[in-house]
Amino acid sequence: MAGSNRRSRASKSSASEPPADAETAVWQRALRLLAARERSAAEVAVRLRAAGGTDAAVDAVLERLRARGYVDDGRVAQHAAAAAARRGRGSIYARTKLAARGVPPALIDAAIHDHFTDEAGLAGSVLARRYANPPLSPADRARAGRFLLQRGFPRAVVLAILGEGC
């Protein structure tokens, strides 16, 4: 009896019914993508095209998503830059990640400007969390400098904190 319930539920599933048209299928796929996490318009477009969406259907769906506020590259840039700063990452890291996600450069610049106003202070706090005592020897300063560079801090910030000798 339990098996018959499964079959009847499966037959009623909307997933087994073909979509009305291509744009509807692309729209449904886009909503599933955005339900998982926030994505940039470029990320959504790439995934929809990879799933077989036509250029016209993808463009129409992206316009609908933007009009309803479901896709907003500015919001993606602000959230990603804020998250990078919270996690102790530098502006280069945030800029690189956002560019890889297809966010326009103007929105990246605005987000970096908003969230990395005191990048030297952020780098100093990251360094203080990593090293209990300030690095004094040239080898320790060089190690600390590499650490900050790997975290995505600009070279100028690293040199300002640790000095030219690192």
**pLDDT tens, position by position, 77-122:** 999 999 999 999 999 999 999 999 999 999 999 999 999 999 999 9
From CA 80, how far away is CA 95, in angstroms rounded?
9
For the whole model, what pTM was predicted?
0.79
Q: Identify the sign of the CA torsion 152, 87, 69, 50.
A: positive
pLDDT at 164: 60
Instruction: Give the angle subtended at the CA of 133 by the CAs of 127 and 136, to the nearest 5°.
Output: 90
What does the pLDDT read at residue 6?
47
Amino acid 20: pLDDT: 54
In the chain, where the domains are located: 19-68, 73-115, 119-162
How many degrees, rounded to 5, is the angle at CA 66 between CA 65 and CA 72? Answer: 110
Class of domain 19-68: mainly alpha
The per-residue pLDDT for 147 is 96
pLDDT of residue 23: 87
**Hunting for tokens 């040199």 — which residue is that?**
159
Q: How far apart are CA 76 and CA 1, in angstroms?
A: 49
**Rounded Cα gap, residues 59 and 71, in angstroms:** 13
Using 70 as the pLDDT threshold, list the residues of the chain that sit under it: 1-20, 164-166
Q: What is the pLDDT of residue 134?
A: 85
| Rounded-to-integer distance, Cα 72 and Cα 162, Å | 38
